[in-house]
Structure formats: structure tokens, C-alpha cells
């Protein structure tokens, strides 16, 4: 996986959303996902419109938006189409299959109607995946399984990670990859490693527990295919300039990885 170009890996993807994402990454030369952790609809749309050209994935926590509306979703979908990125709702589903199928398709957010991708904690077992799948039989949708977290003191032990990878292997039609911090976790070149905890200044956020690595280190040492950057972009003095800088550095690190492992 680590030595193969994304263009080759797109042909090895086991589901259409992973293939689409890999093709977007190649077309835009971007392996940057912005974590759009803002609490108003206007800020969320402004980010999608301004950093959209530089990202392959736009990650939301839709439940932190104070003035959510159906119109916001229409605007997000329009921005995604215009700037050619996918939407990932970082819902981190973590309940029994029946409950997650309702959380995915009903309620205020109707996540499966607009998010190409979602995140899932495998802690409930395989039913969490079959539950989500049951809600979207005809849609092109997928999930990243959170097998290892970035935060200090996380409970994702090596045995939890390896059991989680077994669940991942059983659902190649729905799982597009894993959220993790360690390069050896994922071998399948058709799947993607999404890695948060990325910042240029690498200042952790103290008691809140986030732990950061540099763009170069997450790609070269930690095996990330796509890096998630939140506050490093969203809270920068100039978020557009920051997005451009992260995109350039992350893509250069990916090219360096592929050529150094050839
Ligand atoms: N995230 C992590 N660590 C994980 C999984 N997910 O930080 O292990 C998510 C957070 C946040 C983003 O929910 O949206 O990635 C990181 O934001 P930051 O760059 O501002 O720390």
C-alpha cells in the first residue's frame, strides 16, 4: 500500500466511493481532509467554498452547527460538486445495528442522504456495519472504521486494532478504510488510511488530549494516505493560505514516500 501511487490503487478499490475518492485525490493532487469544526452554517459554507479547491474530503461534525437547516445541506452538496470533494460526516457511530441504522437515516440530519462517507467505532462488533449498510442499500456510500485514536490515553489497544481489522476485511463493499495512527495497520492498497492529529506547529491541546504530528511525519512515518487538519486550518489567521500550505506539504510527502519505497 505505502509504495503504490493513488492512481494504481484507485483500480484496486473494492467499493465505488473509495475509487472515486482516490481519483479525486489524483485529479486535485490533494490528500488533505479539512475538519470543518465550526458552529455556524455561514462559517461552514464559507469554509467549504474557500478551502474546497484544496481538499479531497470535507469533514463535518454536523451536530455542532447551531443553525442547521436543509438548505445548509444543499449548499454543502453544491460546494462539493463545484470544487470536487467528498463529504464525510464524522459521526463515529457506536451502537447496535438497529440503532445506528436509524441514526444514519432518520432524525434531524438524515446523514445518509448527503454524506458520502461516515466514521464508525467498531466497539459494538460487526452489527454496527451491517446496521449502517441496511440503511443505504441503493446508495453509493461508505465508512471509515476508527480503529485507533489520536488522543492521549486512548483505549485502542493492539488487540482491539487487530480485531477491528477483521471486521474491516468482512465488509469490502462498504468500508473504504480506517482511521488510525500506525502504518502497519492496513495492508490492502484498495483501502485508505485517514489520520487526524496533524498540525504544523505540533502544539498539543493540553488536557483536551489531542496529540499532533507534522504533515510530513503522518504521511512518511505513520502511513496516512489522507491527513485530517482541523484547527491548523480553521483557526489560522488565513485559512485559505493554511489549506494551500498543508495541501502542498502533504502531497510532497506522499510523492516522497512513493518514490523512496519504489
Ligand atoms: N478526530 C481526532 N482523532 C481521532 C479521530 N477523529 O482528532 O482519533 C477528529 C476530531 C476533529 C479532528 O473529531 O474533528 O479529527 C481533529 O481536529 P484538530 O486538527 O482541530 O485537532
Q: What is the ipTM of this complex?
A: 0.99
pLDDT for position 167: 96
Are 157 and 185 within 8 A, CB to CB? no
pLDDT for position 40: 98
pLDDT for position 203: 85
CA dihedral over 93, 99, 104, 106, signed as positive or negative:
negative
63 catalytic residue (yes or no): no
What single DSSP character describes residue 191? S
* Structural element, H or E, at residue 101: helix 97-105
Is 231 a known ligand-binding residue? yes
Dist. CA 37 → ligand 1 center (Å):
9
pLDDT for position 22: 98
Question: Per DSSP, which regions of 102-181 are E strands?
Answer: 117-120, 142-146, 175-179
Q: Return the best residue to mutate from 32, 34, 37 for the ligand 1 pocket (most ligand atoms within 8 A of CB).
A: 37
pLDDT at 262 over 90: no
Taking the model in full, what pTM does it have?
A: 0.98
For the beta carbon of residue 1, count every other beta carbon within 10 angstroms. 17
Q: Is 150 in the pocket of ligand 1 (CB under 6 A)?
A: yes
**82-119 residues labelled b (16+ CB within 10 A) or e (exposed):** ebebbbbbbbebbbebeebbebbbeeebebbebbbbbb
CA dihedral over 155, 157, 159, 160, signed as positive or negative:
positive
Among candidate residues 28, 90, 133, 225, the one labeled active-site is 90
Rounded Cα distance between 59 and 54, Å, is 13
The mean per-residue pLDDT over the stretch 70-85 comes to 98
The mean per-residue pLDDT over the stretch 61-78 comes to 98
C-alpha cell at 202: 505540533
pLDDT for position 227: 98
pLDDT tens, position by position, 4-53: 999 999 999 999 999 999 999 999 999 999 999 999 999 999 999 999 99
CA dihedral over 224, 230, 235, 240, signed as positive or negative:
positive
The mean per-residue pLDDT over the stretch 251-261 comes to 96
pLDDT at 95 over 90: yes
Are 233 and 48 within 8 A, CB to CB? no
Q: Which residues lie across from 192 on neighbouring strands?
A: 177
92 catalytic residue (yes or no): yes
Rounded Cα distance between 28 and 88, Å, is 17
- pLDDT band at 241, cuts 50/70/90? very high
Exposed/middle/buried for 22, CB within 10 Å: 0-12, 13-18, 19+? buried
**Cα 213 vs. chain centroid, distance in angstroms?**
17
90 catalytic residue (yes or no): yes
DSSP helix/strand/coil, 177:
strand
pLDDT tens, position by position, 103-147: 999 999 999 999 999 999 999 999 999 999 999 987 899 999 999
Are 112 and 104 within 8 A, CB to CB? yes
Dist. CA 88 → ligand 1 center (Å):
13
Average pLDDT of the chain to the nearest whole number: 97
pLDDT tens, position by position, 158-209: 999 999 999 999 999 999 999 999 999 999 999 999 999 999 987 888 889 9
Amino acid at each position: 500500500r505505502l509504495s503504490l501511487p493513488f492512481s494504481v490503487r484507485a483500480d484496486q478499490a473494492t467499493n465505488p466511493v473509495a475509487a472515486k475518492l482516490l481519483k479525486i485525490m489524483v485529479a486535485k493532487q490533494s490528500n488533505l481532509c479539512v475538519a470543518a469544526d465550526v458552529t455556524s452554517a455561514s462559517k461552514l459554507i464559507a469554509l467549504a467554498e474557500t478551502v474546497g479547491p484544496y481538499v479531497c474530503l470535507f469533514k463535518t461534525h454536523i451536530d455542532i452547527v447551531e443553525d442547521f437547516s436543509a438548505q445548509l445541506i444543499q449548499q454543502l452538496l453544491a460546494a462539493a460538486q463545484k470544487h470536487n470533494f467528498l463529504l464525510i460526516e464524522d459521526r463515529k457511530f457506536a451502537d447496535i445495528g438497529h440503532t445506528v441504522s436509524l441514526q444514519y437515516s432518520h432524525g434531524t440530519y438524515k446523514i445518509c442522504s448527503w454524506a458520502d462517507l461516515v466514521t464508525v467505532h467498531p466497539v459494538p462488533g460487526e452489527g454496527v456495519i451491517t446496521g449502517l449498510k441496511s440503511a443505504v442499500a441503493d446508495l453509493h456510500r461508505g465508512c471509515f472504521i476508527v480503529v485507533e485514536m489520536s488522543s492521549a490515553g486512548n483505549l485502542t489497544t493492539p488487540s482491539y486494532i487487530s480485531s477491528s481489522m477483521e471486521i474491516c476485511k468482512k465488509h469490502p463493499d462498504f468500508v473504504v478504510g480506517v482511521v488510525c495512527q500506525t502504518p502497519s495497520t492496513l495492508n490492502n492498497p484498495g483501502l485508505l488510511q485517514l489520520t487526524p492529529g496533524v498540525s504544523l506547529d505540533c502544539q498539543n491541546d493540553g488536557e483536551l488530549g489531542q496529540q499532533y504530528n507534522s504533515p510530513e511525519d503522518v504521511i512518511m512515518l505513520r502511513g496516512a494516505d489522507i491527513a485530517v487538519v482541523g484547527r491548523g486550518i480553521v483557526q489560522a489567521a488565513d485559512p485559505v493560505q493554511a489549506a494551500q500550505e498543508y495541501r502542498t506539504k502533504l502531497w510532497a510527502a506522499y510523492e516522497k514516500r512513493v518514490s523512496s519505497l519504489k
